Homo-oligomer: A and B are copies of this chain.
Amino acid sequence: MPLAERVATFDNDGTLCCEQPLQTQFFFAFGRVKELSAKDPTMIERQPFRAVLEDDYNTLFGLGKQALFELAFATHAGITEEGFEEIARRWLATARHPKFGRLFKECTYRPQVELLTYLRENGFKTYIVSAGGVDFMRAFSDEAYGVPREQVIGSSVKLRYDMKDDRVSLTKLPELNSFDDREVKALNIGLHIGRRPLLAFGNSDGDLAMMRYAKSGLGPRLALLLHHDDAEREAAYDREFRLSPLSEALDKAGDYGITVVSMKRDWKGVF
């Protein structure tokens, strides 16, 4: 394939790094709620913050999608992009995974980092296309995966152009711009990249549209699906993970020409 066409897109949570028991960004958001509530004691009176402050995740995830967006906006918006970056980097420098004990930003999968490197060595541009927040992922994508900020596509809030003392900044607003999941992943690839990927790698039904978009282009194509079937080394889950279930993509992988990668069978190491 011509060099210019060599584009590969990877989901992040569960594809490049551990998303159990929750996606890393939730831990970050919970930490932010705890920080913010120290300055605003009324937060504990309101959901979804009360559930977070009481570590009551069952209630939290029962509150529905809107509550999760409120959580994201309260913890990710109202600050400049550059201010957010600093907060996220500070958190990532010390926050550790509750089960594995290592830094969250080091809970990345070694075979995937090797694959990203291999693709780049063969002229590919590697992109992240994830439902995770774009600014949060940009705070570690280069260090963790060698993927530069400008090759990260994610969920985003609207931005506001501010001018203060002759200095321009972009402020993150509590309003959704794009929820980068399912069909929207393909649409955002069209908008941001403008090329159909040759390779797409995902791990849930949220990645199916992107995989089918990649797979149904002309010429050789590869769609890969990571199946978490390794309770010993990481976690075993698929359709029951309510934050990001894997069901249709697993059942129909054969029909859709998607290659299933078994963590247990195919990976020599995990982290």
Contact = CB atoms under 8 A, between A and B. Distances in A.
Contact of A191 (B156, B163, B212): B156
Interface stretch (A68-76, A99-107, A145-153): A145-153
A30 to B, nearest CB: 24
A256 B168 CA distance: 12
Contacts of A195: 149-150
A159 B188 CA distance: 9
Interface in A77-92: 81-82
Number of copies: 2
A129 interface: no
A202 to B, nearest CB: 14
Interface string A186-213: 1100111111100000000000010011
Interface in A209-228: 209, 212-213, 216
Given A168-B213, A168-B216, A216-B166, A148 B186 contact: no
Nearest to A4: B148
Contacts of A160: 187
